[in-house]
Amino acid sequence: MASYNAQTHLLLGKYLDKFDVTEKTTVEMNDQSRAQNKKKKDDHDASSSEE
């Protein structure tokens, strides 16, 4: 979303005084996030099947 906002400002010639800072990620961070999400899903599935 921030990219559309920035492009619109550039198109209209209204430059930003303040920039929207977005979180930067690395491949390692993405892998860790996927592993955490998979663990949460597996834990949820295991608790659901016990009922």
Give the pLDDT score at 51.
58
pTM (two decimals):
0.44
8-state DSSP, 26: -
Q: What residue spans define the domains of the chain?
A: 2-50
**Contact predicate 22/2, CB 8 Å:** yes
Give the pLDDT score at 38.
92
How confident is the model over 10-43, as pLDDT tens digits?
Answer: 888 887 677 777 777 788 888 898 999 999 988 8
Which pairs count as long-range contacts for 44-50, CB under 8 Å and 24+ apart, including other chains?
Answer: none
State yes or no: pLDDT of 7 exceeds 80. yes
